[in-house]
Amino acid sequence: MLIFSMSEKELGKKWDRCLADGAIKLGTGLGLGIVLSVLFFKRRTWPISLGSGAGLGMAYANCQNDLRSHYLLHRSEKVSLCNNIY
């Protein structure tokens, strides 16, 4: 059984990308929520919470995918499931 491990430098780079992506997506969601709250929703707080949550959720999903990508096996050849139907 093979056990793969990431180097500390590679893991650090992935964490840095995750934190930067999280800050960008959180800021964008927060800003969009504030703009929508002020312009359309009579200064209610739920658009701000919704925008921030959506931004953090997208950042979390991207980070999870990035951290797990080291352990996925990638196939280089494409397999056709159906041959000439007609």
**In this structure, is residue 9 part of a structural domain?**
no
Percentage, residues of the chain above pLDDT 90: 45
**In this structure, is residue 56 part of a structural domain?**
yes
Model confidence over 13-40: pLDDT tens digits? 888 999 999 999 999 999 999 999 999 8
* Phi, psi dihedral angles at 75 (to 5 degrees): -95, 140
Give the residue from 16, 22, 17, 13 showing the smallest Cα distance to 59.
Answer: 22
**In this structure, is residue 12 part of a structural domain?**
no
Range of the domain at 59: 23-67
**Total domains, the chain:** 1
**In this structure, is residue 76 part of a structural domain?**
no
Model confidence over 45-80: pLDDT tens digits? 898 899 999 999 999 999 998 888 766 565 556 656
